[in-house]
Chains A and B, each alone.
Chain A
Amino acid sequence: MKRSEQLRNLLPAIVTAVAVIVSLAWFFNSPRRQTKELPKVLGHREGCILCHLPMGGFVKAHDPKAIGCASCHLGNPFTMNKNGAHKDMVLVPGNLGDAARTCGTSRCHPLLCTNIRASLMASGRGMVSVDRYVFGEISSPNGRGHLSELGDSPAQEHLRKLCASCHLAKVKAKPAVINQLSRGGGCTACHIYYSKGARGELDRYHENGKQPKIHPALSLQVSGSHCFGCHSRSGRIATNYEGWHETESRPEEVSGKNGYRILEDGRVFMRMSPDIHFKRGMECIDCHTWREAMGDGKTYFHEEDQVEISCEDCHPVRKPSTIARKKLKEIDKKIVKQRKALAGITNFVLTSKTNRPLLNVTLDGTGNVLVMGKNSSKTYHPKVPPSICTKDIYGHDRLTCQSCHTPWGPSCIKCHTSYDRTGMGLDHIAEKRVKGRWAEKKGKLVPRQPALGIQIRAKKEKLDTFIPGMIFTIEHKDYPGARFRENSFVFRRLYAPTAAHTTSAKGLACRSCHNNTVVLGLGEGLFSVRKSTSNVQEMVFESLYPARKEDGLAEDAWTGFLDERRGMVSTRVGARPLSAQEQRTVIRVGVCLPCHPADAAGIKKIYKDFPTALKRLTPQCRRPPKMTFGRKKTAK
């Protein structure tokens, strides 16, 4: 055999030997031998810790010493190469698109991650369906839409441009302190809290790229400011709750004036009466449960369906049902364990609607309800409803608590929405400016008592509060696509049910409803009595606002005086304004109230059994027997 052939034959062995020697030398001269001392988290080591610790600011459950960094931020924890470690990393782990791999893994919060996808705050299902219903694209406001899966129809385009920023599934691209402009971010929309230190570190990071050493806390300390960004819009329950009503004023017009507040987005609010629960120091989560916020896994159409609490849970008329701590579900036990304020509670009041535990509501030694502030640890002793609420007054059995305890709500009485094909608008789903713009020309926004109307709850008719959901015109004649030409101009007069979150401690006076044209759904105006041609006294209604040419009703009205308005009248299936007969019944009591005020001595004998009282009219009660209801009259 030639020498060259011998060498060739030996080559593989030489190559292998060299590879082995090099690799061993490489390994034993490793500059990172300290990795052997890296602590294990969740059964594995993480290289992230070598570069990023010490890092403070965490609550115990989310401390990197317990769960590492990669559990939330992904990436590759098994390399010390920066680029390799940061590959496929998630900067804001709570975004719902990533949540199944971060917050929602099987050993962390799988149930919540599954539930939240079906929840209304993530899907905006009700918002999508109602909008499409109003545009005439679907036949019912109960649809299965999702803000993350919008199509290209005018309504869906409208949602993309004007509404889709307010939902949990909106991606939060960068870490940011929660403020009034915060939107989306999935789990982090509510559960992230920037301490002063963390805020300063984040600012420094933005200024000079210096790696933060204080992490925002991920905790159960969800404050009202987390909810404020989204809920200060539309029904504006966050601002209502704090006693602020949006105006059409510009910031410079009210600057320095008392009684006004300018939000970070430039909207100007004026002082109104706040909700009694806010006055007492209660936060949103002191009433609302985790199941309402993150969903219970079921699919609901509208928020009032997903809400499981009711006033009666804390203000019960009879002793509420409770559940013992040991019988709680694991997730509830976990929450109770995490919250210091709830440590001493052994029995939890169950919701009357869904029979599920309210984790901060219990009964004291005397059987009275006791509410604990989840964040504040304050103790509240909710009042027991007075007899006027608990004992039936004739004709009031269908009323909800908020019908009498909602002094005001925001009412936008006119709006025109039009599509401008040439303009540019921000698509909140795609996160970019695209061609086509929706322009809103708003009318007057007034704080006033909501109208009463009929809602279907648990297959029963309930008298509840309504505000003008949409009295408006939509115009999209130049919207691209011939198939969208139909319904390119529509007028709608729809009222929406509202939980205004402006609850007053004291119930409203009888005349607030019985002599209030707004509550009757007629809009602002006056009743007057006049003699008819046949010499009979008749009551007529004169509206403050002019009639609209589309339907002849006053601009702010829901229905006409003694009208039977049906069909497309509300953003909810089955909801409607008062019928003509119901209006008559309400007004009939209102006629007596000026002379027989509800707080007069011995007055109960009149209103407790009103039909009998009507049979005992004295000659002084001159109006009622002869009175008839005249034709409606609307200002021109």
Chain B
Amino acid sequence: MNRPPNQKPSFIKGFFNSWAYLFPPPGLLTHAALFLAIGSGIALSFVYDVNRPFDSLQVLALGNQGGIFIRAVHYWSSQLFLVLAAFHVIDQLSKNGELEVSRGLWVRVSFIVPLVLFLMISGFILKGDRGGILARQVLEGLLGTLPAGGDILRFLFLGSPHNFQLIFIHHVATTTLFVLIFTLEHDGRIWPEWRSVVYVTACSMILSSLRTPVLRPEGLEIYVKGPWYFVGLQEMLHWASRPGWILVLGGAVFFVLCVLPLASERVSKALKRFMTGVFLAYLGMSVVGWFFRGGDWQRVVPWGGP
């Protein structure tokens, strides 16, 4: 391809220039966050019981302050990983980073996006509380809308109903392994950069000490929202009369991401605009879903009280 790299729009350029003054590059921070999430996840796996997921987390939450903290670090490092990964993707796309790696590697790297999303939602489901169970139902329902192969996909990703075994395996092994391999491959290094580790660890620990992730038993709240990164999806599901189209849209974005290096400069710009539009629309719907929706999908205002 003869497209020149490093053509950033001014706003994004300004943003990442400021970033560079303060922090290590988003890619390195993402790498560090992944490692921290994996490390804290390993610690959690000692006490997590896949046969009684919610109960094992309750025992952890009630029985051990250290365990609570490790779980909080796992939670916050994962959230940081997701946010930093998003920044990294925007950063790379804005400077035509897709042209700087081989096409095969780009496709493999693109696979990280859906894998990370699955990693995140599977972690949320594995809590086994009301929120987790509802998220699983939504995902099962969404996969079930696929005209062909929906049931197979549902089984492959989520396993038997009410059983967390396969989701757990995917979360701690399959998905993590692929994300790790693709990350290490395109990053060109195994161990994360030390400064990034310090930043991410400090940030996760501060957030963990400020707010621990909550468990939600059945019945204690009027309504339960999904994780913040899937609230936009919930909002879309409410609007869509045919939820299958949401999967088609998601698939289209992923396909566009994969084929970006093949596109001409003009087409690439158009495709990136399309992806930006989808991203901003999703962001908007996430804001609406998070702040302006109450129980039964009623419109509320954040300052309106419970």
A293 at the interface (CB under 8 A from B): no
Do A30 and B43 touch (CB < 8 A)?
A: no
Among B61, B64, B212, B221, which residue has its beta carbon within 8 angstroms of that of A101? B221
Q: Quick check: A71 and B62 within 8 Å, CB to CB?
A: no
Tell me if A27 and B67 are in contact (CB < 8 A): yes
Q: Mark A8-28, 1 if CB is under 8 A from B, else 0.
A: 111111011001101111110
Q: Which of B42, B59, B61 contacts A36 (CB 8 A)?
A: B59
Chain B, Cβ-Cβ closest to A13:
B191
A–B complex contacts, Cβ < 8 Å, 21 sampled: A9-B194, A13-B191, A19-B40, A19-B70, A23-B40, A23-B69, A25-B66, A26-B70, A32-B62, A35-B63, A42-B217, A44-B54, A70-B217, A70-B220, A74-B220, A78-B215, A79-B68, A80-B62, A81-B65, A101-B221, A105-B222
Q: Which residue of A lies closest to B221 (CB)?
A: A101
Query: Is the contact region of chain A dominated by helix, strand, or loop, or is it mixed?
Result: helix
Chain B residue numbers with a CB within 8 Å of A15 are 39, 197, 201
Known contacts A26-B66, A36-B59: does B222 contact A101 (CB below 8 Å)?
yes
Asked if A45 is an interface residue, CB under 8 A from chain B, the answer is yes
* The one of A27, A98, A107 that contacts B66, using a Cβ cutoff of 8 Å: A27
B197 CB to nearest A CB, Å: 5
**B55 near A19: Cβ-Cβ < 8 Å:** no
Docked pose: A74 CA to B59 CA in angstroms: 19
Decide: B39 and A20 in contact? CB cutoff 8 A: yes
Chain B 214-234 interface 0/1 with A at a Cβ cutoff of 8 Å (1 = within): 110111111000000000000
Shortest Cβ gap from A124 to chain B (Å): 21
Having A35-B59, A101-B222, one finds 8 other A-B pairs with CB under 8 Å, namely A19-B39, A23-B40, A30-B67, A44-B55, A50-B62, A74-B220, A79-B68, A101-B306
Nearest-neighbour CB distance to chain B for A96, whole angstroms, equals 12
Residue of B nearest to A78 (CB): B61
Q: Which of B38, B62, B73 contacts A47 (CB 8 A)?
A: B62
Check if B182 is an interface residue, CB within 8 A of chain A: no
Assess whether A468 is interfacial by the CB under 8 Å rule.
Answer: no
What distance in Å separates the Cβ of B214 from its nearest Cβ neighbour in chain A? 7
* Residues of chain A with a CB closer than 8 A to B219's CB: 42, 71, 105-108
Chain A residues packing against B (C-beta within 8 Å): 8-13, 15-16, 19-20, 22-27, 30, 32-36, 38, 40, 42-45, 47, 50, 70-71, 74, 76-81, 84, 97-98, 100-101, 105-108
User: Within the complex, what minimum Cβ distance (angstroms) separates A363 from chain B?
Assistant: 40
Which residues in chain B, 192-245, are within 8 Å of chain A measured between CB atoms?
192, 194, 197, 201, 212, 214-215, 217-222
B25-44 CB contacts (< 8 Å) to partner A: 32, 35-36, 38-40, 42-43
Could you tell me the distance in whole angstroms from the C-beta of A87 to the nearest C-beta in chain B?
Answer: 10
Partner of B62, one of A9, A45, A108: A45
B67 — which chain A residues lie within 8 A by C-beta? 23, 26-27, 30
* Chain B residues with CB under 8 A of A76: 214
Interface pair B220/A78, CB less than 8 Å apart: no
In the complex, what distance in Å separates the CA atom of A74 from the CA atom of B38? Answer: 33
Across the interface, do B43 and A79 meet the contact criterion of CB distance under 8 Å?
no
The answer for the CA separation of A607 and B108 in the assembled complex, in Å, is 103
Choice from B35, B47, B61, B63 contacting A12 with Cβ under 8 Å: B35
Q: Which of A24, A42, A84, A105 contacts B43 (CB 8 A)?
A: A24
Q: Tell whether, in the assembled complex, residue B194 and residue A8 are in contact, meaning their CB atoms are under 8 Å apart.
A: yes
CA of A514 to CA of B123, assembled, Å: 82
Residues from chain B with a CB closer than 8 A to the CB of A100 are: 222, 295
B194: contacting residue among A12, A19, A25, A71, CB under 8 A: A12
